[in-house]
Amino acid sequence: MKVLLIDDHPLILSALQTVIEGLGDNVKVLGVDSAAQARAALKTSQDFDLVLLDLQLGDADGFDVLTEFRAAYPALPVVVVSASDRASDVIRAIDLGAMGFVPKRTGKEMLVQALRLVMAGGIFVPSMSLGSGMSNAPAPAAASPVQAIGDAAQASGFQRVNALEGLSLTPRQTDVLALLLQGKPNKVIARELGVSVETVKDHVAAVLKALGVNSRTQAVLAVGQMSQQQPGAGFTTFRGSQT
C-alpha cells in the first residue's frame, strides 16, 4: 500500500508517517508539507492507494484541495486528518467526497482502525450525534461512544442506528448505495449500472428510507457510524453478504 500524507506541521507529519508505516512491511508513505508538493507527487506517480489530507495547509485551503483531488482522481480515496473535530467540518468533508475524517486528537489505535476500515471499502467518521443539529455535546462518562450515538439519534427523532445487514436492501439498491458512497451523481450511477436516471432516483430514495436519513451526506455518515459498530466489516463485506 502506498500512502500520500499531506501535513504542513513537521512533527505531526513525522508522527503520522511512523504510525502509518507501522501498519505493515508493505506500507510505504510519502510525506509532503504543501498542496503544491502533493499535486506534483500525484502527477509523478499514479500508484497511490490512499491520501491523508490535513485541512490547514500553508499554501491552500484543505477543502479546496479535497475537491480538486476528488475531481482529478475519483478512484483514489482521501481521508481528512484534522485538528478540528467540529461536526460541520466532518459533514462538509464527507459531502465533498472524503472517505473518512479522523481528528488529530484520536489515539493511535483509532487511527489504525480508521485507515483499515477505509482500505476495506468502509467509511470512517468520528463519533458524533446524527441528529439534525449535529451537536458535538460530550456524552456522559458512563456511556460508550456507540451508546451516545444511539441515544442522541433516537432522542432527535432522526434515525435509529441499525446493523448494516439489517437494511434489507435489494442487490440493485446495494449497488446504488456503493456508488452513492463514492460520491457519484445519479447520471454516473445510471450509466455504470445501465439503468435510467429515474430508476436510480427511485433506488436512492429507497436507500435513504432504509437508512432513516434525508440526504446523501447523512447516508454516508450513517454508514460510517454503522461500520464502526462492526469491527473489520466495511461496506465491501456488507455488499458481499447480500443475496
CATH number at residue 207: 1.10.10.10
Kind of pairing, strands 2-6 and 50-53? parallel
The answer to the question of residue 23 being in a domain is yes
Query: What pLDDT score was predicted for residue 230?
Result: 53
Domain that holds residue 52: 2-119
**How many structural domains comprise the chain?**
2
pTM reported for the whole predicted model: 0.64
Please check the confidence at residue 57 and state whether its pLDDT lies above 50.
Answer: yes
Q: What CA–CA distance (Å, rounded) separates 48 from 4?
A: 7
Among the three residues 90, 119, 148, which one is the final residue of a domain in this structure?
119
Cell numbers at 115, concatenated: 485507515
Report how far apart, in Å, the C-alpha atoms of 223 and of each of 58, 212, 227 are: 33, 11, 6
Side-chain-side CA neighbours of residue 5 (13 Å):
24
Cell numbers at 68, concatenated: 480538486
Instruction: Provide the CA 9 distance to its chain's centre, in angstroms.
Output: 23
Among the three residues 52, 86, 119, which one is the final residue of a domain in this structure?
119
Question: Are both 207 and 105 inside the same structural domain?
Answer: no
Q: pLDDT per residue over 2-17, tens digit each?
A: 999 999 998 888 888 8
Question: Are both 96 and 45 inside the same structural domain?
Answer: yes
Look at 23 and 154; give whichever has higher pLDDT. Answer: 23
Strands in 78-82's sheet, in edge-to-edge order, are 28-32, 2-6, 50-53, 78-82, 100-103
Question: Are both 9 and 104 inside the same structural domain?
Answer: yes
Least confident of 35-49, 143-157, 187-201, 211-225: 143-157
The answer to the question of residue 147 being in a domain is no
* Cβ pair 224, 231 in contact under 8 A: no
pLDDT mean over 85-112: 86
Please check the confidence at residue 78 and state whether its pLDDT lies above 80.
Answer: yes
Query: What pLDDT score was predicted for residue 229?
Result: 57
Q: pLDDT per residue over 186-241, tens digit each?
A: 888 999 999 999 999 999 999 888 888 888 878 877 777 776 655 444 444 333 33
Among the three residues 119, 143, 178, which one is the final residue of a domain in this structure?
119
* Cβ pair 189, 179 in contact under 8 A: yes
